[in-house]
Structure formats: C-alpha cells, structure tokens
Amino acid sequence: MKPLSFLAFLALLSSSQAAVKLPSIFTDHMVLQRDMPVPVWGKASPGEEVTVEFAGQKKTTKADANGKWMVKLDPLTTNAEPQVLKAGNVTIQDVLVGEVWLASGQSNMEWEMQMKADSKADIPAASHPNLRLIEVPKTIALTPQDDVPTKWDRCTPESAAPFSCVGYYFGLRLLEELKVPVGVIQSAWGGTRIEPWTSLEGFDAVPELKDFAADTRNKLPGSDAYRATNEKHLAAVEQWSKAVRDALDKKQAVPAVPAQPQALPMNQGSPTSLYNAMIHPLVPFAFRGAIWYQGESNHNEGFVYTDKTKALLASWRSVFQQPDLPFYFVQIAPWQYGDESIEILPQFWQAQRKCLDIPHTGMAVISDIGEIPDIHPAHKKEVARRLSLWALSKDYGRSDIDPNGPLYASHAIEGGAIRVKFDHAKNGLASRDGKPLTNFEIAGSDGIFQPAEAKIDGDSLLVSSAKVPQPRRVRFAWSKLAIPNLMNKDGLTACAFHTHWPVDPDLGDNFAKGCTWESSDKNTYGWDTGLTDGSTLPHPPNCYATSNTDQFPKHVTIDLTQPRTINLVRVAVPEIGSTKTVAVSISSDGKTFREVGRHVFPLGKAELAAVAFPDAEAKFIRLTYLDHHAQLAGNFPNTFAFTSEVEVYRVK
C-alpha cells in the first residue's frame, strides 16, 4: 500500500472534518440556557472524534456507528457578550448565555406582531440585541425527525414583525425584568389540536388514554401494530378472494370486500405529527420552560383535555429530560363558537383549571380581555405579561408575585345568600371597572339559575337574588360570551366557576367516577371512553357507545371497586345517537342483577336522567339498552347506544 501524500492526507482530514454537522437549533445569534447542563449534539462520520469548545470548556466524544454524537457542557453562567461555539470544524458566532423558553400552541400563539394594530405599533421599537428569536417552520412527519431547517435572529423590527406576539412580549418582559439575554423558540401552528403536539410515549403515560394510544399505533404506518392489523386484513382479503371465486362459480352473489384498515393521514391534525416534525428536532436542547396557548380546537371535549395535557407534558418532560419542566398556559378567551351550548366553553375552562393539578404548571386567565367577535383577541401584550408573572414568581425568585387570579375555593349558605370564598385573593377582591360585579347567577334546589347580585366582603363575596329566596348553588362567567369584571387587588381576573359542576355537592360522592366497565357489545370505532370521566357534554368526543350490531338488548357493567350503599344513578346521553329505553340494574356479585328503574330518552336531545330507589348495597351497576329509536340522530346508525356519563350516589 502506498503512503498517502501530504495533500491527500489534508484532503482526507478536511473531508472528515466536513462531516461534522450540528442541527439547525445551533446557529449564529443563538442563546444557550444558563445554570443547567447544555447538550450539544450532531452528526459526523461513524467513529469520528468530535471536540466541542465553548466558554473555556472543551468536551470530546466520538460519533457512534450511526454517526450520532453528543456532549454536555457544564452549567454556564450568564453572559451577554458574544461568544463562539466550536464543534469540529463548525463555528457558531455571537452566542449568548441566558434564559430560553419554548412558545407553542395554535393560532393565538402563532399570531404575528404585524397582524394587529396595537402590536404592530410596537414593531419600530423592537430593537433588542439581547433578545433572540427562532421560529420552527410549519411541517409534519409521522416519525420523529432529527432536524428542521431554521435559524436564530437578533430581535430587530424585521425579525419581530412576523414573530409570535405572545412569544415576543413574553421574552421582552423577561429581558427587562431579569437583565439577562433571552431566547424564545416559536413552534406553533394555527388551528391545530393538542394531540399532534404529543408523542406516542406521552399518550402511553396516561392510563385514561391507553385506548387512544393503541388506536393511534394501529393506524401509524411502520409500527408493529399497523403491520399486524394490515397482515390480518391481507389474510381476510385472501379469504374473500377465494369466496368470490366460489360465489362466481356457483353463480351466487359476491360477498363485500373486507374494509381496509385506516392509516393516519399525513396532515397537521394527525396525532404526533407536529411533535415529530416541530418538537422532536429540538430534542434535547436545554431551555428553562414552555408557554402554551392552545385549546380552541379541543374546546368541546371537557375533562379529556386535562388527560391530553398530562400526555403532552409527559412527552415533553421525558425527551428533554426535565421532569419538572415549567409549563404555563393560557385559559382560552370567550368566543361565540357558533350555535353550540353556552356551557360547553365554561366546562372546558374547568378542564383547563384542572390542569393546575399537574405539578409545575400555571394558568393565565384572560376572560376579561376577550373579544366576542374575534377568536384572536388583540391584547397579546397583556396575555404575555400574565404568563411572565408565573415565570417570575416560580422560576426567578419573585416571591412577592402571586401569578394567580381568584380561584373558587368554597361556598356556604348564609340565609338568603351564598358566601363564596376564593384562593389567591389575600389582598382583597375588586371590580375592574368600578361597576357592580357581572356574570353571577344563583339557583335553588331546582337548578334554575337567575341573575344575581354579588357584593365584595374582603376576600369573599355574598351572592343573592330576590328571585331565589332559598339559594343552593352559584355560578360565575358560566357562558361562552362572559367577559366578567371580578378581579383581585393585583389586577388579575377571576376564573369561571360553578359550585355544582362537575360534582354536585348536594348529591355527595360520585362512586362511579373513574371506575372501569365491561361491555356486552364492545365498540370498535374508538367510542369506548368517557363513561365515568365526570363530563356530560351534549356532544362529547370521549363518549361511550356499544357496538352497532342490530341485536338488542345490550348492556354495560360498571365495577364500583367495592360494595357501596347507593340510592341514585344518573345517566346522561348526548345529542347524537338513537338511544331510547335504558334500564338500570344493581348487583353485589356481578352475576345476579336487580332492576331498580328505567328511563326513556328523547331522540336527538342531550339529557341527564336520574333513577332513584331505596338504599341498597351494590358493587356493580349495569345499564341495559332495551331498544332504540327508529330515526337517526347525528347520522349515526341507530344500532349504536350512546351514553356520555354514568354517576352513582347515596343521597342523604
């Protein structure tokens, strides 16, 4: 073998060095996260040695057999002076060290500075050298991607104009308050649901979504489940082909071809598609936390959104290796939402409030700055300010800030009024405009609400109405059109609430909440959830249904997990479906059932029916669908029996 010439050696060395590549999240003008380990990764020739140098640190590793490599820089200190990051022969200029945040969601997060008059007026002054912006382009993928073409920019009027209003104002607020460099990563797409932003592993992490995760895998090209489903279909087609030939030979009718299994469509609505293409390419970049403005496209599904938020966070926190990743979100604004029930959006607001039970989350309530004719309200600067209060309070040591507006805590009847107490109102409550408090309603035991007067008494309210002399329940801002004026003395608006939804305290504990069930005719179309999730929406996406066989009766049996003394079962049906007569039976052993009542539901109308009976011991509750309406409701075959919720109580 001839020795390499010096020039050939240099050419080989150059070729080897040229193989070193960083993903597009590493470009000139970037910001690296301070005070935590900082991964730097990329690709090179398999086995190639790669050295990364930054801020006096020097880390060396070798690319694996697939050409992938990664090092972790030790935690960096704040630095507003431009520095150079080197990885092999790649040089990244003008790198700052400070705070980095991810800004994600749908159109209200994507909404550009140049699209509204108030934010557009701020563009000429948007020259902030220590604020850096990067936008992930809108793209989709059905498998996780390693990179996406993008680049960092210094914040200038030109780069700020097409950038997220909320992202820009949030970053600017942190820049002004912390006096350190700030980077904001925008990854948002208008009109998208939460499911596309979530990984399969995220769905797996939430038991309530196990059926959704399985269904997604069955439809995901390339997955083992998809292959198995289609191999089963292929076998059925081969059997069908033989049956066709037999039928033709016998001059008989040809059987119908087996239905082909569905595949996930290649669009921004498919579960995991945006996570794969717009979040995973950032993994495992170090950043402080995330802000999230999304929900309009999921607003009609009630508490299942809470589970889906858990899945989103499970996926992000896992891949970025930050189990405590801060996540601050916006409770979506009031809006008309067509002719749907005024209560659907308030119920969704409660699902968003329930997300506060997830550790290290925060919610910015913005119902006071909504614009009923516009689903994209203009006051994005205030939205960003309220989000920044969470970051300043929880992540940057500002213990003097309470980022929460008033949250309903409890109520008590006081004569002809109800006293409502709030958390996060220690400095007192106030009216935003100095006028009487709006959007309060009160009802007696009949549940018929009347407009009510609410008077401030320290950190609580006294709510009353002359039309309701014996009040039992209160609700506030319980309408998709409500723009209320109740706030705390810190200027943060109160969250909508209902003292008797979803759990009616007059009834006691709902023993069926969260319980499992078995169906005699299992649904195979994905309508096999939501039976005991506490939500009774008129058109719930997480609704239970039987199969669509034409054989009645059918039944579903709920296991209460332990014997209970009960005397009331409530059954809710949605607007869709042709469910008619439903019998309620109880059992102690799951074998012998005794009917305690039945109800005939109207066609095409959401209804909550109660079956009351003397105290009885039971561990199992069975709904038996005895028959169905002949007509259709919602264009579903009338052989489906739909139920949106079952509740079980002992009323004292």
Query: 292-328: per-residue pLDDT in tens?
Result: 999 999 998 889 999 999 999 999 999 999 999 999 9
Q: What is the pLDDT of residue 533?
A: 86
Looking at residue 275, the DSSP 8-state letter turns out to be I
Q: What is the pLDDT of residue 10?
A: 43
Looking at residue 378, the DSSP 8-state letter turns out to be S
Mean pLDDT of the chain: 94
CB 483 within 8 A of CB 368: yes
Looking at 6-10, 116-120, 482-486, which range is the least confident one?
6-10
Pairing of strands 581-587, 544-545: unpaired
Q: For residue 532, is pLDDT > 60?
A: yes
All structural domains of the chain, each given as residue ranges with its CATH number in brackets, are 8-115+137-162+179-188 (2.60.40.10), 200-256 (no CATH), 407-498 (no CATH), 516-649 (2.60.120.260)
Dig out the tokens for 330 from the structure. 């916006």
CB 474 within 8 A of CB 419: no
- DSSP 3-state of 127: coil
Task: Identify the helix (H) or strand (E) that includes residue 166.
Answer: helix 165-178
Q: What is the pLDDT of residue 526?
A: 80
Length of the chain: 652
Q: Strand pairing partners for 622?
A: 557, 585
Pairing of strands 38-43, 49-54: unpaired
pLDDT digits (tens, 9 = 90+) for 36-89: 999 999 999 999 999 999 999 999 999 999 999 999 999 999 999 999 999 999
Q: pLDDT band for 14, please (50, 70, 90 cuts).
A: very low
Asked, as a colleague might, if the bond just before 553 is cis with ω within 30 of 0, I would say yes
Nearest alpha-carbon partner for 166 in 136, 181, 187, 140: 187
- DSSP 3-state of 572: strand
369: alpha, beta or left? (left if phi > 0; alpha if psi -120 to 50)? alpha
CB atoms within 10 A of CB 519: 18
Average pLDDT (160-189) is 98
Q: For residue 604, is pLDDT > 90?
A: no
* Alpha-carbon span 426 to 404, nearest angstrom: 11
* Alpha-carbon span 323 to 642, nearest angstrom: 38
Q: Measured between alpha carbons, how far is residue 343 from residues 149, 336, 351, 606 in Å?
A: 43, 11, 13, 13
* Alpha-carbon span 94 to 234, nearest angstrom: 57
Q: What is the pLDDT of residue 5?
A: 52
Average pLDDT (595-617) is 93
pLDDT digits (tens, 9 = 90+) for 386-418: 999 999 999 999 999 999 999 999 999 999 999
